[in-house]
Amino acid sequence: MAAMRPVKTLGLLGTGVIGGGWAARALHFGIDVVAADVKPEMQAWIRGAVENAEAALSRLTFAPLPPKGTLSFTTDLRAMARRVDFIQENIPEQLELKQSVLADVSHCAPPDVIIASSTSGLMPSELQRDMQAPERFLVGHPFNPVYLLPLVELVGGGSTSGEALEAAADFYRYIGMHPLRVRREVPGHLTDRLQEALWREILHLVNDGVASTGELDDSIVYGPGLRWAAMGTNLIYHLAGGESGMRHMLQQFGPCLKWPWTKLEAPELSEQLIDRMVEGTQAQAGGRSIRELERLRDDYLVAIQQVLRQFDIGAGATLRALEERLYQQNGAAARAAVDDGAGVVAGQPLRLVETYVRPEWVDYNGHMTDSRYLQVFGDATDALLRAVGVDDAYRASGRALYTVETHVTHRSEASALEPLYVTTQILGLDDKRVHLFHNLNRRRDDRLVATGEQLYLHVNSAAGKASAMDATLRAKLEKIRIAHAGIDQPPRSGRHLSLWKS
């Protein structure tokens, strides 16, 4: 089979809730998206879905992101298939419909384009039956909201190649997901089978009048749900066994499995049971719209992943890995610009950071809050240091540059979503110190928003004292300093804070 191509453009075969989630995630991490749906009204829908997801996605990570991808829409499914590098199918869960559409599209998509289905339960061998080049087909089953939940189940069919599964996993990781390889195809894959077992018990308990929908959700939210965010049922039960772990747990609680606690068969969906489920969930919603509840869900999912990131566990580990890749990618681009001279132009400051005012950066006055200026200037310094070789390996060697002084001045206001960029100038340099000056500007009119002046000291971390920097590092910084020597001294540099004298 042909080697799978690098993915720069994602094609969506069908839109809807899942398609909108795929679009938002891919666009945020720099992938262009061509959304295809036979219903022309879905163009407005998917653009609205992407816009609604942006507020949460913008808070997920502060790592430097590539430029956002562009979104286009077409009602011609075949035209989409001819111009993309990866296709994600999201049409309704009807086997014959999926088989027909997938077969048709596969004759238009080049054989090195992976075609993945978001199906939540259909078997990949059945879906790929009539396809051209079926070895490039697989199931890539995500979870709603796709733009925040990192899990994607990968399931191959009888004709699926290992190369296609590996290439798909690489793409999903690139857009910040956690690909979980399912060993063999089974109806419902893995996660939905587990969710369905819990769902059946919920229906029985509501049907039998044992509990309301709200009480059952509380039984998860305030207990096992908190544990499940980082540890699955098996590891949690391993802990329940004490020092002897799972073996003791099964010996102690295994006999309970013979007790008639659960009912594996779902109850009949009578009108009375449906009414109870609807009334219960409407009471839980408390008058809030679906969009309001989506934003609430998105907010806590971002917060949970950021907390888990500190412990490098669960979805937090996926987020941390994504951020490390983004920082390395940004540093490599900056380093290439410095090494080949393209980014170091005599008489011009460096321009290494492009950003915008995230909604949560705004204070009660409606403008960018003070602490975020320090963060943006820190990002600019980080980009410069990575460009000259102060990366994870350099710090691991026991050497680093530490901030010893920072001065920030505010010149203009920046509102939410305002695009910004930072220019950086080296004002001075010796064996142990680097003197930097940053300008933060609005992208739309180049107006100066703020300045940041910083002095950095090179240290030997193990000895805990200042030390001369590496000769190669010193030479790269000196090259930039010489290029910046012709720039006028910033009028605000070297100032101290004081009241005007009368």
What is the CATH number for 259? Answer: 1.10.1040.10
Q: Looking at the domain assignment, is residue 279 inside a domain?
A: yes
Q: Please give the Cα distance from 221 to 268 (Å, whole number).
A: 27
Tokens 């321009």 belong to 351
Tokens 């088989």 belong to 99
Q: Looking at the domain assignment, is residue 338 inside a domain?
A: no
Question: Which domain, by its residues, includes 161?
Answer: 9-188
- What CATH number does residue 448 fall under? 3.10.129.10
Q: 208 and 181, same structural domain? A: no
Per-residue pLDDT of the chain (502 residues; tens, 9 = 90+): 568 899 999 999 999 999 999 999 999 999 999 999 999 999 999 999 999 999 899 889 888 889 999 999 999 999 999 999 999 999 999 999 999 999 999 999 999 999 999 999 999 999 999 999 999 999 999 999 999 999 999 999 999 999 999 999 999 999 999 999 999 999 999 999 999 999 999 999 999 999 999 999 999 988 898 888 888 888 887 877 778 788 877 777 777 767 777 666 777 878 998 888 888 888 888 888 888 888 888 988 988 998 899 899 889 999 999 998 988 888 888 788 777 777 788 889 998 888 888 877 888 888 999 999 999 999 899 889 988 999 888 888 999 999 999 999 999 999 988 899 999 999 999 999 999 999 999 999 999 999 999 999 999 988 889 999 999 999 999 999 999 998 988 887 887 776 655 4
Q: Which amino acid is at 202?
A: I
Q: 275 and 213, same structural domain? A: yes
Q: Which helix (H) or strand (E) holds 170?
A: helix 162-174
Q: Please say whether the beta carbons of 202 and 216 come within 8 A.
A: yes
Q: Looking at the domain assignment, is residue 413 inside a domain?
A: yes
Q: How many CB atoms lie within 10 A of CB 99?
A: 17
Q: Looking at the domain assignment, is residue 354 inside a domain?
A: yes
Q: How far is CA 406 from the centre of its chain?
A: 31
Q: What is the dihedral of CA 458, 395, 393, 325, to 10 degrees?
A: -110
Residues with Cβ < 8 Å from 404, sequence gap 6 or more? 455, 456, 457
CA angle 201–268–214, rounded 5-degree value: 40
Q: What is the 3-state secondary structure (H, E, C) of 183-231?
A: CCCCCCCCHHHHHHHHHHHHHHHHHCCCCCHHHHHHHHHCCHHHHHCCC
Residues with Cβ < 8 Å from 437, sequence gap 6 or more? 424, 425, 427, 451, 452, 453, 454, 490, 493
Q: Looking at the domain assignment, is residue 83 inside a domain?
A: yes
Q: Looking at the domain assignment, is residue 305 inside a domain?
A: no
Residues with Cβ < 8 Å from 385, sequence gap 6 or more? 391, 401
Q: 31 and 167, same structural domain? A: yes
pLDDT value at residue 502: 47
Q: What is the 3-state secondary structure (H, E, C) of 283-317?
A: HHHCCCCHHHHHHHHHHHHHHHHHHHHHHCCCHHH
Q: 202 and 181, same structural domain? A: no
Q: 206 and 115, same structural domain? A: no
User: How many structural domains compose the chain?
Assistant: 3
Residue 240 in tokens: 């329940």
Residues with Cβ < 8 Å from 390, sequence gap 6 or more? 400, 401, 473
Length of the chain equals 502
Q: Looking at the domain assignment, is residue 306 inside a domain?
A: no
User: What's phi and psi for 500, nearest 5 deg?
Assistant: -65, 140
Greatest Cα pair distance, the chain, in angstroms, is: 88
Q: Looking at the domain assignment, is residue 339 inside a domain?
A: no
Q: 149 and 37, same structural domain? A: yes
Residue 12 in tokens: 């969506």
Q: 260 and 372, same structural domain? A: no
* SS3 label, residue 393: helix
**Omega of the bond leading into 419 within 30 degrees of 0 (cis):** no
- Strand arrangement, sheet containing 178-181: 71-74, 32-36, 9-13, 86-89, 114-117, 137-142, 151-156, 178-181
pLDDT value at residue 425: 95
Residue 196 in tokens: 């369905």
Tokens 């913008």 belong to 58
Q: Please say whether the beta carbons of 257 and 197 come within 8 A.
A: no
Q: Please give the Cα distance from 208 to 310 (Å, whole number).
A: 43
Q: Please give the Cα distance from 221 to 219 (Å, whole number).
A: 6
Residue 23 in tokens: 């679009």
Q: Radius of gyration (Cα) for the chain, nearest Å? A: 27
